[in-house]
Amino acid sequence: MADVEADRRGAGKRRGGGAYGYGPAEAVERAWTPWLVPLFVVACVAVFVVEMYVNNCPARPQPYGPCVARFLHRFSFQAIRQNPLLGPSSSTLEKLGALQWYKLVHRNQGWRLVTCIWLHAGLIHLLVNMLSLLFIGVRLEQQFGCVRIGIIYLLSGFGGAVLSALLLRNSISVGASGALFGLLGAMVSELIINWTIYSNRVAALLTLMVVIVINLGIGLFPHVDNFAHIGGFLSGFLLGFVLLIRPQFGWMERHDLPPSAQVTSKYKAYQYVSWVIALLLLIVGFTIGLVMLFRGVNGNDHCHWCHYLNCVPTSRWSCED
């Protein structure tokens, strides 16, 4: 994101506009004070505290060994052998709303598609996700405001949960990773749809792609829900085309330019086309995904190789656990 910021500042200075190559109106957009992303962080931390309170490790049988950090009493963690991420048991997560295919489809508990986004498997899981959210989300909210970034975050998390439920039946899934990947996807599409206002746009795009590929690569290890990452990324990527479109250069200053130099359209033609295509794909994708899910369709029956996107078995680990 730092490369993108630098590109826009440079473009703005060379073209005589504001920080992003625009006039005063764009400078106002840059003045957004981020509050929604910090609120999301506070909410996830609060939910994790509730998880540990409900879990109450000392009151449970301990077949895997004693609780970790017993000085925390009720808030102590399950044994490392049971949860290496320092958190509650799987049964606690399932009780509080983790994504679980059988209960989602056969018990009509569709609310799990939303609640799973706010739960985390452990303290380590929570810290990694929240630090990433602050690093990525705050800067995006400063640029585009709370409404657009909030929509992208929530719908990306939802999209990740839908894909995960379609393709991952034998495990529970929790975490904000799908929503985080949605923000990364939105950064990529924002760069593409506003391509003409960047200077070092190719370098910025390559930097983003390297970060995304590395993170998706990590998702090929066991016990990481890469389907949520992929579903979140695709949702955020399409939402970025719809919500993060910017007026073409010169639109904000059109009244200060001579008639021959004025632009007549707020957006370029390719921006309009991208907006329409992305919106249609979003509607179709969510509709098909939800219909398949609640009809009990197993996505793996229609994609026999998709399980390799979530975990690649090797001689060192198995993907069956």
User: Which amino acid type is present at position 14?
Assistant: R
Give CB contacts under 8 A, 24+ apart, made by 279-283.
Answer: 279/238, 279/241, 279/242, 281/238, 282/235, 282/238, 282/239, 282/242
315 is known as an active-site residue: no
| CB within 8 Å of 248: residues ≥ 6 apart | 196, 197, 263, 265, 266, 267, 268, 271
User: Which amino acid type is present at position 256?
Assistant: D
Among the listed residues 76, 177, 189, 274, the single catalytic one is: 177
307 is known as an active-site residue: no
Percentages of the chain per state (helix, strand, coil), in multiples of 5: 65, 0, 35
Query: What is the DSSP-derived secondary structure letter of residue 176?
Result: S
> CA–CA separation, 172 vs 91, rounded Å?
10
User: Which amino acid type is present at position 86?
Assistant: L
Sign of CA dihedral 19, 21, 22, 23: positive
- Reference 223, options 85, 34, 47, 70; nearest CA is 85
Question: For the chain, how far is it from start to end, CA to CA, in angstroms?
Answer: 36
Q: How remote is the C-alpha of 304 from its chain's centroid?
A: 26
Among the listed residues 120, 173, 189, 229, the single catalytic one is: 229
| CB within 8 Å of 245: residues ≥ 6 apart | 193, 194, 267, 271, 274, 275
Give catalytic residue positions.
Answer: 177, 229
